[in-house]
Chains A and B, each alone.
Chain A
Amino acid sequence: MIDKDLVQIKVAGPNATVVTLPAPTNMSLSLMELLKGNGYPIQATCGGMALCATCHVCVLEGYEQVGEPASDAEWAMLDSLFNTTDTSRLACQVRIGHACDNMLVKILGDT
């Protein structure tokens, strides 16, 4: 049986590996919380206010479908980084919903 409240989030790792994480859509989780909860080493220094960039990810697949587009505050932070890509997001600003199903992300952080 397929759980209607569960989506799949794919995380690209080193050497072309991809890990698939089941993610509940009914817990008001952010992508940052999901990644952190699954043991990825994200500091999330600011706690999810888009005030640091430790949860910076590149969305490799599904960027257009993610849901809410980046706010000015999020863009302002992304603009201050040196490894920002055209499909960068702060994971704390991406709400896990059905639109996120099968998205593929890579963790970049603040470097």
Chain B
Amino acid sequence: MITTDICIVGAGPVGLFAVFEAGLLGMRCHLIDVLTQPGGQLAEIYPKKPIYDIPGYPVVLAGELIQRQLEQIAPFKPTWSLGEKATDLQKNPSGDFLITTSGGNQIQAKILVIASGLGVFEPRKPPISSLDDFENKGVDYFVKNPDAYKGKKLVLAGGGDSALDWTIFLADIAAELTLVHRSSRFRAAPDSVEKVMALSQSGKVRLMLDANVTEVHGNGRLNKVVVSNKDGWPTHLDTDYFIPLFGLRPELGPLAQWGLNMDGEAIKVDNTLDYQTNIPGVYAIGDINTYPGKLKLILCGYHEAALMAQSAWKRLHPNSMFNMKYTTVNGINGF
């Protein structure tokens, strides 16, 4: 059990800045993110894209902004549950929140801040019937532990960078590797495409182009897939693993079940006050929230984080006088 003042769901730019604003007021934070690195979509999806509307930076790369923010919050020593999804929200008799993660961790916090942006990044799953039945029983959407594939028969599907990079990496480990791609052309990085073509020519990788995996079979565990070509002609392949790599897609995720007032895929908050949701002590900031006039800008998320932190402090110290101090006067007093 991890005990903290504020539990933040989502470690994107706004979640990270919330750590800073909370830290200035002496509140400790724990962050949960389904991605294995902090930074959300900025780090995961477009680290090399330039951003032009962060004050003080005429231009900054998304990945660099995250690095700078991590540096900025370091004095406040946040703790992390990365690679985990926040799955359950309960309220303790004491009034504290109890958040459970997909990794089996429990976080007890006085305040919950949802800064989950686009939502939870989930793998895009191909429309194959009974695919779900074999998840973690031969069907993997991520390569988490390459050693598990040592000496095994693998079928990978996809035509992007991730599919090609893993094909190149796993070709040396697997007993057999087949890559299935729906098109006859790859759009991944040219040097990866060249490497995969070379592996195909040397017989280390079997390429099936203009084809899709259309069926999965097994007896409790996956042992066979059916690959269909453009004309629907089926090929049966014995395999130990099927690894579809079709990228990530944001989903709202478990928080849809937490009793929050929603407007479509966004959480309604009180923007006139502090970005609190309909559950007292639960705030939503950044792209995940909505209110009249909402602007989905990182800049606006930062502002929301600052107001949230002031309100959270008042909730935690109902009988104390609040005294706002500027960093220029007080400096940064870390933990």
Contacts and interface: CB of A to CB of B under 8 A. Distances in A.
Interface stretch (A6-14, A19-27, A44-52, A96-104): A44-52
B45 A110 contact: no
Interface stretch (B155-163, B170-178, B305-313, B326-334): B155-163
A43 B266 CA distance: 11
A22 B49 CA distance: 33
Given A47-B296, A52-B250, A110-B249, A75 B46 contact: no
Interface stretch (B70-78, B85-93, B135-143, B182-190): B182-190
A91 B45 CA distance: 19
Q: How large is the interface on B (under 10, 10 to 19, 20 to 34, 35 or more residues)?
A: 20 to 34
Contact of A49 (B46, B187, B265): B46
B250 A45 contact: yes
Q: Is the interface of A mostly helix, strand, loop or mixed?
A: loop
Contact of A80 (B41, B46, B124): B124
Contact of B265 (A43, A80, A84): A43
A45 B118 contact: yes
B182 A79 contact: yes
A86 B99 CA distance: 45
B104 to A, nearest CB: 29
Interface of B: 41, 45-46, 49, 118, 124, 126-127, 158-161, 181-183, 187-188, 246-247, 249-250, 265, 296
A-B pairs with lowest CB-CB distance, top 10: A80-B247, A76-B187, A80-B246, A75-B187, A79-B159, A76-B160, A72-B187, A51-B45, A45-B118, A82-B127
